[in-house]
């Protein structure tokens, strides 16, 4: 039975390097994995007044897809040394009670950015959210695609072979981690 993974990118831009990285993950997914992607762009800005009246349909759909997935793949850019607001917003919406769907989910994190550190700081901040929401992030390998504008071609294909190998390894490790958490061994 394949491992079902829900992947989403924390960038709204159609030409986003993080969306390209997510497409690369789908391309490189191991045979025992099925990655489904979700576009968080339609999720409205979080407002507790709206939530108390019920989740908007797109948020309910996102929560259901998280709940149904065996594991998650979050792909984040880095804005101002942290997680972009759109990704944090989607997490905030999905994590509201009742029955927040992130609980005990295995998760892999990766990202692409223009700087030389890739998305190191954003990924560490995202890990803090994972801890609070009781997710189980995988630790290795760290996939931080630095100077992303030099790593993708005009068609959006990741051309950096080291990054491609790291993404493939991350997915293999996510599948193994998900199985390990299921069985408890």
pLDDT digits (tens, 9 = 90+) for 126-165: 999 999 999 999 999 999 999 999 999 999 999 999 999 9
> How many whole angstroms separate alpha carbon 78 and alpha carbon 111?
8
pTM of the model: 0.96
Mean pLDDT of 49-61: 95
Beta bridge partners of residue 106, listed in sequence order: 136
CATH of the domain at 47: 3.40.50.360
Mean pLDDT of 37-43: 97
- Cα–Cα distances (Å) from 178 to 4, 80, 139, in that order, read 10, 32, 13
Please give the residue range of the domain that contains residue 80. Answer: 3-183
| pLDDT 10s digits, 95-135 | 999 999 999 999 999 999 998 888 999 999 999 999 999 99
Predicted pLDDT of residue 1: 82
> How many whole angstroms separate alpha carbon 34 and alpha carbon 61?
18
CA atoms within a 13 Å half-sphere pointing along the CA-CB vector of 50: 11
Structural domain tally of the chain? Answer: 1
């Amino acid at each position: 039975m394949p491992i079902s993974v829900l992947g989403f990118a924390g960038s709204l831009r159609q030409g986003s390097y993080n969306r390209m990285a997510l497409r690369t993950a789908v391309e490189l997914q191991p045979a025992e994995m099925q990655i489904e992607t979700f576009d968080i762009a339609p999720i409205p800005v979080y407002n507790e007044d709206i939530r108390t009246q019920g989740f908007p349909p797109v948020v309910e759909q996102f929560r259901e897809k998280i709940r149904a997935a065996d594991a998650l793949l979050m792909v984040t850019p880095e804005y101002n040394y942290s997680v972009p607001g759109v990704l944090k917003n989607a997490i905030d919406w999905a994590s509201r009670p009742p029955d927040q769907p992130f609980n005990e989910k295995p998760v892999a994190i990766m990202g692409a950015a223009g700087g030389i550190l890739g998305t190191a700081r954003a990924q560490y901040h995202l890990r803090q959210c994972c801890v609070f929401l009781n997710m189980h992030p995988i630790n290795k390998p760290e996939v931080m695609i630095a100077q992303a504008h030099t790593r993708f071609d005009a068609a959006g294909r990741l051309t950096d072979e080291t990054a491609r190998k790291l993404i493939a390894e991350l997915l293999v490790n996510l599948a193994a981690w998900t199985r390990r958490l299921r069985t408890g061994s």
